[in-house]
A and B are shown apart, each in its own frame.
Chain A
Amino acid sequence: MNEKATEHDITKTSGKAMIEIIGMHKWYGDFHVLRGIDLTVAEQERIVVCGPSGSGKSTMIRCINRLEEHQKGRISVDGVELTNNIKNIEKIRAEVGMVFQHFNLFPHLTILDNLTLGPIWVLKIPRKEAEEEAMHYLEKVHIAEQAQKYPGQLSGGQQQRVAIARSLCMKPKIMLFDEPTSALDPEMIKEVLDVMIDLAREGMTMIVVTHEMGFAKSVAHRVLFMDYGQIVEGNTPEEFFNNPQHERTKLFLSQIL
């Protein structure tokens, strides 16, 4: 095995399961979006999910923090099972950060207030402390000088970095990324990916829905391919890109690479 493979070796992480999905199904009306998802994500594991549009990738990760409700099967996050118990849901949501395709910053608040909203109101951290933390994370995403501006005054790439910092302020154990670079102009994609790569180096557990295959190759432990609501194939990036097993995976890779 070459060095790169060992870097991706998940056995180096603690191996404790952070997310466990067993036999999950979901329907939108009569439309069967997710058809039996089984997935276990270990602590500090980084997973990239790809697949054609409509394959259920976004829906799958949105089920993990209950933005969508699954109708069959089980999901547990950090040992807590997702049920209709609203307290459980709020607890899991505070532990799971989510970054959206369209950033979804709060346009009526300054960047700093966007970041401190969750810590102050959910984690009950004093404002001054929350602001210090927020500045720390803004520096980390290289955007501290914009703290007093409003989201509408920032570029797309900057807004997405703020959105990542906003999630990090909640000290999440898991970060979910729902096509974080799809709405960005090409020249801004790199600045966002760089921040995500930094995050990966620090050992964050991440699930990233993206078509950035360069990102997948450089940081993912596992790449999953989804189609028709199922996980068709999942493997290390080397195996996945060099030696895809299924016809559908081969077809998809031939279309995007």
Chain B
Amino acid sequence: MQDMAHEIYTDDMKPPVTSVGVIGWAKANLFNGIFNSILTIITIFILWKFLPPFIRWAFVDSAWNTTGAACREASGACWSVIFSNFRFIIFGFFPYESQWRPFVAMLILFGLLFYSRNRNHWSKYLGYSWIIGLIVMGLLMKGGLFGLASVDSTKWGGLPLTLLLSVFGLTAAYPLGVILALGRQSKMNGVRWICIVYIEAIRGVPLISLLFMSSIIFPLFLPEGVTFNKILRAQVAIILFTAAYIAEVVRGGLQGMSKGQYEAAESMGLNYYLTMRLVILPQALKIVIPPTVSILISAFKDTSLVVIIALWDLLKTTQSVLSNPEWMGFSREAYFVVAIIYFLGCFSMSNYSRKLEKELSAGEQH
């Protein structure tokens, strides 16, 4: 008898059921309170007003694989502008028969980026594979070896150029920004002032003017006959620009560190370099992940500014397709696709940063 009584009391009690099915869920999430109910109704109204026409435009009445003339007949979206010009939009002036090369280079880049997502994969060997990957990518783009036809970098364009400018721009700007932030906090006056002047000067001018300077003014100072690769100059301008912004964000993180952390590290005899590397930066950089990613995202989008110095990035190739009389007027469709490509890049960055933040703070809080 006693056993039975015991069993009754050890029965786990289920939490009370407050919502049942769709109606319960809607009640709890969409219509709890007057304000939320009004918002829900307005949202439904807007969706009802815009979604069906959009679907109709994008999918039902659209022309997918026709000529420009046929497109003008259709009342919906003209996706043909993308499909007919896809390879030019993506690869620009890269020789048509060699366009598999930038394609493979991009695949390698995406593969490496995807594999590097997982922090458990971060090792010496990943570093080596990046170095090998970069060499292979450079070879594929540039050619001139192993029977690959040489392609001048003035012919590089489209998505590979956008990715080149952003991936290298961001990976180089980040460490440079960290060094500048440390320099700005340095006790050595010379170092500190150089960093302050650099950061303030760069932040005081728009990226466009830096790009102009790198492409027009800088060559004027070079002796006759000496030229620098135009892409490289734009790349350097982007790196210098982004680094200044990252420096200020990182400085914010450094100032957020308590004095006790420095003292604890110093009092066990760690020198400046080790104190920063082992104690201060791991914490400070983690704090500033969200603003840093904001800067990286905007830098990624800012690479499209290179059009003004006549580099044919993704946006410029799209634009030039639209200036072809056959496809004139279909900018909505073309820019929509470009926007999606940019969105995918930005969204994966912010998604990854959230994942990283979560992993790094695991266990540290209560």
Chain A positions within 8 Å of B, measured between CB atoms, are: 65, 67, 86, 90-91, 93-94, 96-98, 100, 102, 104-108, 110, 117-118, 121-122, 149-150, 152-153, 166-167, 170
Q: How many whole Å from B347's CB to the nearest CB in chain A?
A: 28
Q: How many whole Å from B247's CB to the nearest CB in chain A?
A: 22
User: Is the Cβ of A106 less than 8 Å from the Cβ of B279?
Assistant: yes
Given contacts A100-B264, A106-B264, A108-B283, contact A118 B366 (CB under 8 A): no
User: Is the Cβ of A105 less than 8 Å from the Cβ of B264?
Assistant: yes
Closest to B279 in A: A106
Q: Is the interface of B mostly helix, strand, loop or mixed?
A: helix
Given contacts A149-B363, A153-B366, contact A166 B260 (CB under 8 A): no
User: Is the Cβ of A121 less than 8 Å from the Cβ of B274?
Assistant: yes
A-B contact pairs, 6 of them (CB 8 A): A96-B267, A100-B263, A106-B265, A122-B268, A153-B363, A170-B269
Which residues on B sit within 8 Å (CB–CB) of A100? 260, 263-264
B341 at the interface (CB under 8 A from A): no
User: Is the Cβ of B364 less than 8 Å from the Cβ of A118?
Assistant: no
Closest to A120 in B: B278
B156-214 residues at the A interface, CB under 8 angstroms: none
Q: How many whole Å from A207's CB to the nearest CB in chain B?
A: 14
CA–CA, A114 to B55, complex, Å?
58
Which residues on B sit within 8 Å (CB–CB) of A106? 261, 264-265, 279, 283
Which residues on A sit within 8 Å (CB–CB) of B363? 110, 149-150, 153
User: Is the Cβ of B269 less than 8 Å from the Cβ of A108?
Assistant: no
Q: Which 7 residue pairs of A and B lie closest in terms of their CB atoms, listed nearest first?
A: A94-B269, A104-B264, A104-B260, A118-B268, A93-B269, A98-B267, A122-B269
CA–CA, A149 to B366, complex, Å?
10
Given contacts A108-B282, A153-B366, contact A118 B269 (CB under 8 A): yes
User: Is the Cβ of A166 less than 8 Å from the Cβ of B268?
Assistant: yes
CA–CA, A166 to B270, complex, Å?
13
User: Is the Cβ of A121 less than 8 Å from the Cβ of B264?
Assistant: no
Closest to B275 in A: A121
Q: How many whole Å from A211's CB to the nearest CB in chain B?
A: 20
Quick one: which of A91, A150, A167 has the most chain B CB within 10 A?
A150
Closest to B264 in A: A104
CA–CA, A97 to B265, complex, Å?
11
CA–CA, A98 to B267, complex, Å?
7
B239-291 residues at the A interface, CB under 8 angstroms: 258, 260-261, 263-271, 274, 278-279, 282-283, 286
Contact with A along B25-66 (1 / 0, CB 8 A): 000000000000000000000000000000000000000000
CA–CA, A193 to B226, complex, Å?
73
Given contacts A91-B269, A108-B286, A117-B268, contact A67 B364 (CB under 8 A): no
User: Is the Cβ of B269 less than 8 Å from the Cβ of A90?
Assistant: yes
User: Is the Cβ of A170 less than 8 Å from the Cβ of B268?
Assistant: yes
Which residues on B sit within 8 Å (CB–CB) of A152? 364-366
CA–CA, A105 to B366, complex, Å?
15
Which residues on B sit within 8 Å (CB–CB) of A121? 270, 274, 278
Contact with A along B302-341 (1 / 0, CB 8 A): 0000000000000000000000000000000000000000
Q: How many whole Å from B196's CB to the nearest CB in chain A?
A: 24
User: Is the Cβ of A94 less than 8 Å from the Cβ of B366?
Assistant: no
User: Is the Cβ of B266 less than 8 Å from the Cβ of A150?
Assistant: no
Which residues on A sit within 8 Å (CB–CB) of B360? 108
User: Is the Cβ of B264 less than 8 Å from the Cβ of A107?
Assistant: no
Q: How many whole Å from B164's CB to the nearest CB in chain A?
A: 34
Q: A97-B267, A100-B260, A152-B366 are in contact. List 5 more A-B contacts (CB 8 A).
A: A93-B269, A94-B269, A104-B260, A104-B261, A104-B263
Contact with A along B352-363 (1 / 0, CB 8 A): 000000001001
Which residues on B sit within 8 Å (CB–CB) of A153? 363, 366
A94: contacting residue among B260, B263, B264, B268, CB under 8 A? B268
CA–CA, A153 to B270, complex, Å?
25
User: Is the Cβ of B269 less than 8 Å from the Cβ of A117?
Assistant: no
Closest to B269 in A: A94
CA–CA, A111 to B173, complex, Å?
34
CA–CA, A65 to B366, complex, Å?
33
CA–CA, A93 to B274, complex, Å?
14
Closest to A68 in B: B263
CA–CA, A90 to B273, complex, Å?
13
CA–CA, A118 to B269, complex, Å?
7
Given contacts A106-B279, A150-B364, contact A67 B267 (CB under 8 A): yes
